[in-house]
Amino acid sequence: MVKLLKEDIRTKEVLDWKGLHLFHMPLSSCSQKLRIFLNIKGLEWQSHVINLLKNENLTPYFLGINPRGLVPTLVDNGDVHIESNDILVHLENRFPEIPLIPSGKATHLKDLLKDEDDLHLDLRALSFRFLFTPPAPPKNNSDLESYANTGSGTVGGVKDTHIDREINFWKELSLHGITDQIARNAAKKFFTKFTEIETQLMNSPYIMGDDFSLLDIAWVVYIERLLLAGYPLKRLHPRLYNWQEEQRARPEVGPEIALPADMADILKERQQALVEQKQTLEDICFPL
Ligand SMILES: N[C@@H](CCC(=O)N[C@@H](CS)C(=O)NCC(=O)O)C(=O)O
């Protein structure tokens, strides 16, 4: 569980907030997880959109709430919770109706959620290589300086090293872009994981068995992002592709991962350009 201590938080106003408040962004995959969960549980919550494209996550206000500068961030009756999977587990414990942790499998589920979280920077790398085309590096040196030096820099009262990984990602992106090698390594990890999940789905309707769980929510959003980036899911993992279609058809899921029409057009054009240049994710990363 990553619940912040009061001393980690510099934007003190949130300590007095009542109810559930979610800092999120529509297209952020980890934020999509939370919104799907809240839909399924039918919970009331207040929305605070943080525009990552404008680096609103690097303001003193937001870094004063989440020293890692990441969405989603939950404020639950004045307690600040960070890390999407930990937030899911926290909310599941608080609102157990419509259970999303299979009975007796809480520890196993946490381990499997960790595998997913460990792939987050790989997902981001593939997104920035094949999906997003920022006209300039998304974070310049001065942004990264603020990132490193604003907010408490502590999580649980201890200096947080997680932020260094984030800063390093953005530095590398602006210096070298996402190289073929980085993209291939990332795609390989997803291929291995998808092969494993697909085997599971040959025997059961959901990843952990007969019941829909937090793990399904977590993977649905990653799979959707990778599909947008051109991962050849249908060819390589046809069962997983069909499963994803089934999940997308759920009313609590589909709207949270759907793209606005104008954005869908832009991304389609981008994919088309990559096809013409023979630079799609499939061209660069497969065969492995
Ligand atoms: N491990 C974190 C990852 C969160 C994360 O990286 N969120 C992304 C959006 S999906 C973000 O805030 N990125 C910051 C940025 O793009 O500047 C979690 O699961 O909450």
According to the model, what pLDDT value does residue 135 have? 81
**98 and 178 co-located in one domain:** no
Question: Of all residues in the chain, what percent are helix, strand and coil, respectively (each to 5)?
Answer: 60, 10, 35
- The residue nearest atom 15 of ligand 1, judged by CA position, is 52
Residue 233 in this model has a pLDDT that exceeds 80 = yes
Tokens found for residue 85 = 């999977």
**220 and 114 co-located in one domain:** yes
20-54 tens-digit pLDDT: 999 999 999 999 999 999 999 999 999 999 999 99
Residue 1 in this model has a pLDDT that exceeds 90 = no
According to the model, what pLDDT value does residue 244 have? 98
Q: Determine the distance from the C-alpha atom of residue 223 to the mean position of all C-alpha atoms in its chain, rounded to a whole number.
A: 11
**Ligand 1 lining (C-beta closer than 6 Å):** 28-30, 52, 57, 70-72, 83-85, 117, 120
- The residue nearest atom 14 of ligand 1, judged by CA position, is 70
- The residue nearest atom 9 of ligand 1, judged by CA position, is 28
State mean pLDDT over 182-198. 98
According to the model, what pLDDT value does residue 204 have? 97
Task: Say how many domains are in the chain.
Answer: 2
- The residue nearest atom 10 of ligand 1, judged by CA position, is 28
Q: Residue 87: CA atoms inside 13 Å, Cβ hemisphere, count?
A: 31
1 within a domain of the structure (yes/no): no
Residues 6+ apart with CB under 8 A from 29: 123, 221, 222, 224, 225
CA distances from 255 to 39, 44, 250, 260 (A): 10, 17, 9, 10
According to the model, what pLDDT value does residue 44 have? 98
Q: Domain containing 54: what range?
A: 6-104
- Largest CA-CA distance found in the chain, in angstroms, rounded: 54
Q: Are 187 and 231 in contact (CB under 8 A)?
A: yes
CA distance from start to end of the chain: 36
Which residue from 22, 30, 150 has its CB within 8 A of the most atoms of ligand 1, so it is best to mutate? 30
109-141 tens-digit pLDDT: 999 999 999 999 999 999 999 999 888 889 999
Task: Supply the DSSP string of 57-95, one letter for each residue.
Answer: GGSHHHHTT-TT--S-EEEETTEEEESHHHHHHHHHHH-
According to the model, what pLDDT value does residue 72 have? 98
30 within a domain of the structure (yes/no): yes
CA of 84 to the centre of ligand 1 (A): 9
**37 and 124 co-located in one domain:** no
According to the model, what pLDDT value does residue 136 have? 86
Residue 77 in this model has a pLDDT that exceeds 90 = yes
**93 and 48 co-located in one domain:** yes
According to the model, what pLDDT value does residue 23 have? 98
Residue where a domain stops, chosen among 59, 87, 104: 104
Q: What is the CA radius of gyration of the chain?
A: 19
| Segment among 4-8, 136-140, 272-276 with least mean pLDDT | 136-140
Question: Greater confidence, 81 or 288?
Answer: 81
Give the atom of ligand 1 at the shortest distance from the alpha carbon of 28. Answer: 10
| Segment among 32-36, 54-58, 185-189, 267-271 with least mean pLDDT | 267-271
Residue where a domain stops, chosen among 80, 104, 128: 104
**15 and 137 co-located in one domain:** no
- The residue nearest atom 11 of ligand 1, judged by CA position, is 70
- The residue nearest atom 12 of ligand 1, judged by CA position, is 70
**56 and 129 co-located in one domain:** no
159-179 tens-digit pLDDT: 999 999 999 999 999 999 999
According to the model, what pLDDT value does residue 88 have? 98
**88 and 161 co-located in one domain:** no
- In the 8-state DSSP scheme, what is residue 53? G
Give the atom of ligand 1 at the shortest distance from the alpha carbon of 121. Answer: 6
Q: Are 198 and 237 in contact (CB under 8 A)?
A: yes
Give the atom of ligand 1 at the shortest distance from the alpha carbon of 83. Answer: 20
Residue where a domain stops, chosen among 39, 71, 104: 104
**128 and 231 co-located in one domain:** yes
State mean pLDDT over 171-193. 97
According to the model, what pLDDT value does residue 79 have? 98
Give the atom of ligand 1 at the shortest distance from the alpha carbon of 170. Answer: 17
Q: What is the CATH number of the domain that holds 93?
A: 3.40.30.10
CA distance 239 to 101: 23
Neighbouring CB atoms inside 10 A of 17's CB total 16
Residues 6+ apart with CB under 8 A from 275: none
CA of 30 to the centre of ligand 1 (A): 7
According to the model, what pLDDT value does residue 133 have? 83
**21 and 120 co-located in one domain:** no
**42 and 123 co-located in one domain:** no
Residues 6+ apart with CB under 8 A from 161: none
Beta bridge partners of 281: none
pLDDT-derived band at 146, boundaries 50, 70, 90? very high
